[in-house]
A and B are shown apart, each in its own frame.
Chain A
Amino acid sequence: MEVGRAYTRVDAADKVTGRARYTDDLHDGPMLVAKILHSTIANGWVKSIDTAAARALPGVVKVLTCFDAPQIQYPTPGHPWSTDPGHQDVADRLLLTRRVRIYGDDIAVVVAEDEVTARRALKLIRVEYESCPVMLEPEQAMEPGAVPIHEEHPDNILKRTETVVGQPDEALSDPALLHFEGHYQTQQVQHCHIENPISYAYMEHGRITVVTSTQIPHIVRRVIGQALGIGWGQIRVIKPYIGGGFGNKQEVLYEPLNAWLTTQVGGRCVKLDVSREETFQNTRSRHPIRFDIKAAVSSQGRIMARECVAISNQGGYASHGHAIVANAVNGFRQTYPDAVGHRSVAYTVYTNRPAPGAMRGYGIPQCDFAGECLMEDIAREMNWDPYQFRLKNIMPLGYVDPTNGITCYSTALARCMEKGRDFIRWDELRAKYQNQTGPVRRGVGMAVFSYKTGVYPISLETASARIVLNQDGTVQLQLGATEIGQGGDTVFCQMAAQAIGLPTERVNIVSTQDTDTAPFDTGAYASRQTYVTGKAIKKAGELFREKVLSYAREMLPQAGELDLRAGEIVDGGSGESLLTLEELAMEAFYSLEHSVHITAEVTNHCKENTFAFGCCFAEVEVDIPVGKVKVLRIVNVHDSGRLINPKLAEAQVHGGMSMGIGYALSEEMKFDPATGRLLNGNLLDYKLPTAMDHPELTALFVEDEDPSGPFGNKALGEPPAIPVAPAIRNAVLHATGVAVNTLPLSPQRLVEEFRKGGLI
């Protein structure tokens, strides 16, 4: 079995020895360097820009401003294109903007012979602005009379949606039920991938090539075409190895600007490498969302109805826009289907913050924090065991979402919870830590989640795969799906090997996507690739196998039923080896009677989706007087169906748990309310946890086959980051009796809350 093997990553040796090449390693010839001039106001207009001194600096090749750039508004999120104008992404970006919407907006750019010259030239540019008041919060932007950030949305509300399922009002006003309210708030955080967004662009044969660190090369090509108003075939995008993305590179960032710049300097190669500070300020992040929740629960502990009002802070540009808060309120509803009804109201509001976009979990880390705090708070108030209260209400097998039809084809959530409970010693520690006194106290907490797999039916799900035979009986696997550090290339090889009947060792992945040659796939996001691309690989593998066997039948006309196993053509009955794939390949390539290059290429249009599940249990120690939380033990248990590679699955969970710990305790983008300037846009002041801030991370699984998955598998990419923050918050609540409803649980916030709670 190739699927299920703990196969070593196909890129492991190259990556640990430094042999793997990333965007900045690739270009050998001379490159011009572009640096962007960012606005020093957060809201207003550029009145004029004086570039004379910058242009006069020796080594400066070109200075371009928002008054020079094309006035074509384009969309940036990494969504599949919709041919239905009603479902197309909001096109609210320009390459360079006169209307300043965030502090640090892109208003001009210098292209120079080297980086120091470009930086010096930036300092010589003089800008005149007209300023408006800064609005960092949705409440400010929604005030009557607030200045519209985009004229298309005079009230600054990008979108409002309301979804009602069943009869929620009946239950929410029923005096026979128990009623609860909760207010929960999440913060703006960033992905902190190691490699900042970087690209370089040049022209060849009248076409533009952009080499870029992206999760979505085919979408980047499309958006460059839209932004520049040229045919998409005029653009070639190349995606080499990338140093992480986590959703930030599921966005078209500076590639369109870079593509335009090369056209402005006669097609010379221009590199656009942004700094960490620019990455924080000018690329995407996770939306801060505020949740106001009402719940009606029966005295037996059954959730009857809930209302969830969510306000999402979209910052200055739409990016993924309303899709994220819409996903959040759906996810909130799905994990615990209400018996009677549910209402969700979601707002996406423009503000002057750096625009959030996709980030690992796509709204679900936010709604899971709200949902799992609520469950904990209700259980606490009613003196119910939060474990049992959750168990009573979780999504059952066969659940069909009433709004989009996504179906629960498999669930092992209850068994995940059981495994997590046993690991953390839930019953014992819940009792033991009940009545503590003193400055240092311990607690245990938990949280669960559900997560869909890919974006069907909300958007298109399509993937293509190509398999070609080599003379030695190995194959190349070529995909539009991308390796972004998650181990995609390795599991793709395993899935192809499984479908064909080869050892994984004999599958070579073509890791780099070049949109001129790579099959079409929309890329790495939505935890979709092992599921959606996996289906395409399976189909392509099976087609390839059929072609091999058909050729084998030509070579072995006397043989009975043939099979391809472990790279050999065998007798289907006895298993006796009749022919190696290498022998067959040599004949197929060079036969004087029938020469054929055996290849298979398919597109799979995926029209399925399924829910993955999991939970987190954490044991913490809280040092009350100084507001410090130490995570002593933590476990994530996942139901992601059958694991393609258990070793990589474990690594994926570790990374997600680490992100969850930072989300829970320390990470937060902070702003100066007066100017809108990001205060901590660097890795010193933005508190991404270090290895020393982590306990041992334990990843466990319950492996059930999902009938809809290509190999029984379902989503795992994003889920590990989801349940950690609420589990830690609930453990702190257990330890101290203080419910903290705003992330992160940073020391100062904890000291303030403990003081309010009378603990200090």
Chain B
Amino acid sequence: MAEPAYTVASDSETIGEEKSSSAFPEIAIGIDFGTSQSSVAVWNGSQVELLRNARNQKLMRSFVTFKDEIPSGGVSYQLSHEYEMLSGAAIFNMKRLIGRVDTDPVVHSSKNLPFLVQTLDIGVRPFVAALVNNVWRSTTPEEVLAIYLVELRALAEIHLKRPVRNVVLTIPVSFSRFQLTRIERACAMAGLHVLRLMPEPTAVALLYAQQQQQNMHENMGSGSEKIALIFNMGAGYCDVAITATAGGVSQIKALSGSTIGGEDILQNMMCHLLPNMDNLFSSHGINEIKSMGLLRVATQDAIHKLSLQTSVQVDVDLGNGSKINKIVDRVEFEEVNKNVFEKCETLVNQCLQDAKVDVEDVNDVILVGGCSNIPRIRNLVLGICKTETSYNRMNPLVAAVCGAALEGAVASGISDPFGSLDLLTIQATPLNIGIQADGNAFVPIINRNTTMPSRKESIFTTAHDNQSEALIVVYEGDNQSLEKNHLLGYFKIMGIPPAPKGVPQIRVCMDIDASNVLRVSAGEVVPTMPFMEVRMPTVDDGHGWCAQALIGQYGSTLDLISVPKMMQQ
């Protein structure tokens, strides 16, 4: 309707298409891009339809192999065997690597994957490479994701017989805004326009809201509010959400998440079976890669079996003379992965606490994701919620993608005559967003679990007499200490009139719109200079360096001091 007021060359393609489709809205497809498996779904006019690839799979492995110079991804490519994915030629676990620097522990734990993840530990992007004809060919997680998304897009276009541009992608709760820009970048490389990036459990919440609506119509049940706890744990990430649902509206009350998942369980088990694994595999020679693949497949298999039986026999010949013959029982498995289960417990408790919900008030516990099959995890979550059974009306592996497809239809402005799309998810911000002030402290302006869209502001003042400039350094995260949070960007406000410290009033305003775009503006309350407004994030990776450089250059000369709410106005 309102034409874009200003078009930049890089945007022109997207905007042109949007305009042409505005008369007849294109239904955005939903994509769940998982660490291990991915899926696509779309609203077909009456319900959500999962799309299947040429091999009739609705869950497709998330990898891209560079075997024959021309990369091919798990949507179209058929692995001859699991080992083929572990030959070094295939890149997987992109979702764990994307938007992370080489000092990140998650990147370090990816170093014993069969492909190459090399770190220099200086806070830059890691070197990622696939083995092609005995050469390590460099790539990036964004590139790999883009190749994969192109295949998913082609799959959807074949099914829908129309060009596909708009997507709703599910993302982990714990993704930083910088990571979100990397996902958007990969989508743009694949010719896709991101309509929404939706935290996975909130997509599940939308599906739940729809099921509750249908339930109400069918049974003439009460339309009262229902509280659901959604626990989602896949191969890479664990997320928890608490949602209050009534009348098709799902209000997200709290979110919590962490980079912990099946991959960590697998690594723990591999280390348990082969304690000196890290040393053995660090060189990434052809033979080491092969042994690593063998161990990985055997361990994975054992973990799956342990969900069904209480003990399992692991027999694997690593080919380099070492053999593993071991019986692993469930108690052992649970002991080895104690740290993972403890983290899950913390996330659930934190979410309940943030939502200010008593476990007695939780009506449904929804367990989704591959790891929700693990008995210990089921018991743990159900135990916290003091219930025996979980909600069973969802397929745990495709719930998120179905929710994303629903959101795709809702956010594209599609309405359904039967009211099946009379739905809404009211999102909340998963992380605090604030600025550096009061010396080296993190002062949140938008607290986590604030309803979106949102607009908040705080008043700050100068730290020094006659300070004419101030630096606004924006961070995002849950940590009290500044350095442990993600730097989103920084800018300088200028022309503050000379005054003793503490006198000037500087307003810092943060605004998040419904599509989760963050804008930070700052200026004096009584302006003598134009306000500054910056869309965040602005920093690229290597953000650790930026923060250090700022301190090195300016010290505390451009600092701000927060003014308590009580003192304002």
Bind each other: no
A-binding residues in B (CB < 8 A): none
Interface residues of A (CB under 8 A from B): none
